Chains A and B, each alone.
Chain A
Amino acid sequence: MSTHDLVERLIDILRTEADLHDRLQSSMASLRNAYSALQTDELETGLAPLTKLGEQAAQSAMARDEICSQLAEQLGVAGRLTMSKLLPLVPHQLVGRLREAADLAKSAAQRARVEGKVGERLLALSARMQRHLLGGVPTEEGAAIYDGRAMVHRAGARRGSMIEGVL
């Protein structure tokens, strides 16, 4: 493929990626909002479209990597390929469109990344909440544990009673 054709292909992929990451961000934001709004059902159903978008994004990323490798080889770009290295080397008439597509894709990816980070933090909070909620309650077969809650509410329980909990 000629450099011109490779750049045209790269522009197409970047535009596709911009769209995919926008939708990815939007889906993740919906999940986040469902989490914040305590909407369990939406959380569970929201995973499927996210998975599909993620697979498409991965396919686009692979196609982009391939095109970038070919471009780097053709244009003699050493090291990490960035737009600042690539743009001075591509055909003049394509520079504007490539720059625009790259900026769009970069912005969309940044937004998606931010949403991912927020998701990670909420995940950490979820994990802590679960630990706290399950605190004092055995979750493994055969576990025995001092159960603060049972003691509190069990009539006639003496302080410090050990409940032989076996699941």
Chain B
Amino acid sequence: MSFGLDAAIRALSASQLAIQTAGQNVSNAATPGYSRQRVLLASALPHTIKGGFQVGTGVEVSGIYSTVDDGLELRLRLQHSASGRAQVDLRLWNDIESLFNEPGGGLSTQLSDVFSQVGNLQSDPSDLGFRNGVVQSGKALTANLNLLADGISTIRNGTFTQVQSLAREVNQHAQVIADLNQEITRAEATGIRANDLRDMREQRIKAISEVVEVRSIERPTGSVDLSIEGRVLVASNRASSITASVDNAGKTELLIGSGAVPVVPSGGQIAGLLAHEDTGANRVLADLDRLAFNLALEFNRVQTTGIPRDGSFDSLTSFYGVQDTNGNAARGDELLSQSGLPFTVQKGELYVTVTDKATGQLERTKIDVDPQTMTLNDLQAALDQIAHLSAAIDPNGRMRISADAGFGFDFANRLDPQPDSFGSFGGASPSIGTTLSGPFDLSTALASPPATFTVNIDGTPLAVDLSPSDFRTPSAATAAELAAAINNDLGTSATAQEVGGRLVIRSNSTGSAATLSLADGTGSPLASLGMSTGTTRTGQAQAVTPQISGSYTGSTNGSLRFVPNGDGQIGVTPGLTVSVFDENGATIATLDVGSTYSPGTQLDIGEGVQVAFGAGNVSATHGDVFELDTISDSDSSDILVALGLNSFFHGTTAADLKVNQTLQSNPDFLAAGLTGASGDASNLSRLLDLQGQDLTALDSYSIEDFYATVVGEVGFEGAAAESTVEAQDSLLANLQQQRDSISGVNIDEEMIDLLRFQQAFDAASRFVTIVNDLTQTLVNLGR
């Protein structure tokens, strides 16, 4: 590791040129009749340094007492300013620190307690007491967070009043200094030095310096001009004034003169107040807001995609409404990205599951959400299209979703326990499917349209026509396009459907008497599709009905496709296997369901998913297939969080974060599970996972560690402020002592010495800044 110390030292050496030159000129500047060019030529002892520059070594100067005084007085004034700023900094950090120093550990303990209560609930998710415990711990956390934010806001909001008061103080001193300037000028015009008046003026300048750092220049007349960051405060016998104001960003600013020009002082109490408002209180508040926002975001992501104690929802109304940002007096027609929702909606997917409460049958629908092209009206329409679900937007821009009687809905990522609802995998109804997934090239079949084939249902032929207009691209026809086109001709006797990218045609008759066969016609489209023709598939009394169990633990949203390898009877036919493919077509498991398999036995296929097959026949020849959605994140768009649909927290800042009032009234709405089954605590595991999860938005800290970092930084700033005051006070005392003892020194040496020591400290401090990185990593490790 390179410290860059070499560079710092080189910079130090290089700066000696400027230091020595400056020192020489400062001293010569006090010599009557001096001009730099002449002195440099006249200097008897210049020396040449690297680069060919000649540097003077200084001259003995007599009668420079006033310049010596000037230098020291200037430093003393600056030191007063620095001490004033440091004192303010210390006071404000102490105030903030006291807010964090709560008995019993405060917010840190309360954060841990929330997770601890979630852990308790995990042991019995149906227990109302445990549910209440989670809600109450959340309430205690948010109450304390609100209090903390309020306390810091009060400290920050006090800045304006304090700056205003200090500005008045400065203006009074400035006016007195202007008056004294006039008196000194008048008195010294007679050739007599007005020492008493000068002392009085110096006291006033020091008093101002403590409040705001000023630069002073003495005129030949004896009057002193004062300026703040280049803006005149006192010029001869005229005094300007400073005032406090609030800028457009809500921050206090200091204005000077009748033109009300903003100035940012470098030292003094006002500088301390302004800097602290910006980088002290505001920074701590911003950190707490970041904590609150991400706490809400992460908790709500889990809560909104879980299932409450009593199962799926009958109806839900969003907490947040969209705003009428385009000003057309209608809410819902703005893009989601411009709807004024408190959380950002991402481009992603929302999975909605509708449950038939009588049968337990699930229907899952995926809605693609793109905040750049989708409005809330579009989302409402998409939800409204789902069978047994209705959605509406109220006048406040809030979304209300309701299920038909006998049905419920949720947004959980649960696995569908019976994914073959269509019955295309050894179902009771005969089916024939393609043996490969689409898209299919029908360009040859459709060369002389229409392409035709016949579907024979229980011996009754149904003619099917396919036209080029049925497909966006006939050479790449999708299974869904084919299913739509075929269903137009099938009527109620049979149904075509896309299953896992394949086309499946299924009779609507069930049982062993039901038959289905296909016959190709014009253009031979079935041959192009690779579908079995000339054979008759019969239904069966007992469907295979695959059963899924477990919770998907994978990290991406996808699907699994199950396909038999061969024709035969589950649990009977020797060597019969089922292949499981992921959404990319890769084989992830081959399951033995042959003669050694006992129907109904769960088989593990990885990532938390198990499957069991009932007794029955399956056929590879007839394209048997079923698909299972594997959802890791059922709302990768965050639309549920953004709308506040059964959130845990409401609000986005430390000041306004609250536990959802509905949850407070009825903790049963806490979404502990993902399946709706009694005792299911799988969603609580996701909540508990948050405790140790490093979040990018929190600088890769976990929620608790981030808070510990905020507290640590407050403590660090307080300690640094205390040491700074100590150092500044010591420096001030030493400067005062030096001024008191000084007499008849060589200004050249004094200045060079002064600058040498400033530069040496400069180099050391640069080193220290680099060391700061080392200490920071060690502090973080110790958390």
Contact = CB atoms under 8 A, between A and B. Distances in A.
Interface of A: 17, 21, 24, 28, 31-33, 35-40, 43-44, 46-47, 50-51, 54-55, 57-59, 61-62, 64-65, 68, 78-85, 102-103, 105-106, 109-110, 112-123, 125-130, 132-141, 147-157, 159, 163-167
Nearest to A17: B778
12 contacts: A32-B723, A38-B757, A51-B5, A59-B1, A79-B700, A80-B705, A82-B705, A106-B782, A114-B720, A123-B762, A126-B762, A129-B78
Nearest to A59: B1
A58 B774 contact: yes
Contacts of B18: 139-140
Contact of B738 (A38, A130, A134, A136): A38
A134 B717 CA distance: 31
Interface in B738-770: 738, 751, 753-758, 760-770
A64 B755 CA distance: 40
Contact of A153 (B1, B32, B716, B771): B32
Nearest to B17: A139
Contacts of B64: 153
A152 B218 contact: yes
B42 interface: no
Nearest to B692: A85
Contacts of B217: 136, 148
A84 B53 contact: no
Contact of A36 (B693, B727, B762): B727
A109 B775 contact: yes
A152 B67 CA distance: 10
Given A149-B30, A154-B34, A133 B692 contact: no
A117 B21 CA distance: 31
Given A36-B730, A50-B764, A165 B220 contact: no
Nearest to B266: A128
Given A118-B724, A132-B74, A149-B29, A81 B781 contact: yes
Interface in B35-71: 35-37, 40, 53, 64, 66-67, 70-71
Contacts of A165: 25, 35-37
* Of A37, A82, A118, A163, most B-chain CB atoms within 10 Å: A118
Interface residues of B, number: 90
B255 interface: no
A59 B36 CA distance: 50
B104 interface: no
A106 B781 contact: yes
B772 A116 contact: yes
A40 B777 contact: no
Nearest to A55: B3
Chain A: interface secondary structure? helix
B765 A123 contact: yes
* Of B21, B33, B754, B774, most A-chain CB atoms within 10 Å: B774
A138 to B, nearest CB: 7
Contact of B735 (A38, A153, A167): A38
Given A32-B723, A85-B692, 4 more contacts: A35-B757, A50-B767, A133-B74, A167-B25
Contacts of B779: 106, 109-110, 113
A57 B727 CA distance: 25
Given A110-B716, A137-B25, A153-B30, A28 B764 contact: yes
A128 B15 CA distance: 15
A127 to B, nearest CB: 7
Contact of B35 (A112, A127, A163): A163
Contacts of A81: 781
B113 interface: no
A47 B763 contact: yes
B765 A110 contact: no
Contacts of A140: 18
Nearest to A38: B734
B82 interface: yes
Contact of A37 (B25, B694, B730): B730
B719 A114 contact: yes
B359 interface: no
B464 interface: no
Contacts of B34: 150, 154
B731 interface: yes
B219 interface: yes
B644 interface: no
A154 B5 contact: no
A62 B1 CA distance: 8
B761 A126 contact: yes
B5 A166 contact: no
A44 B760 contact: yes
Given A33-B730, A150-B29, A128 B767 contact: no
B731 A141 contact: no
A44 B755 CA distance: 12
Contacts of B731: 35-36, 38, 122
Contacts of B738: 38
Contacts of A141: 53
Contacts of A58: 1, 3, 774
A47 B765 contact: no
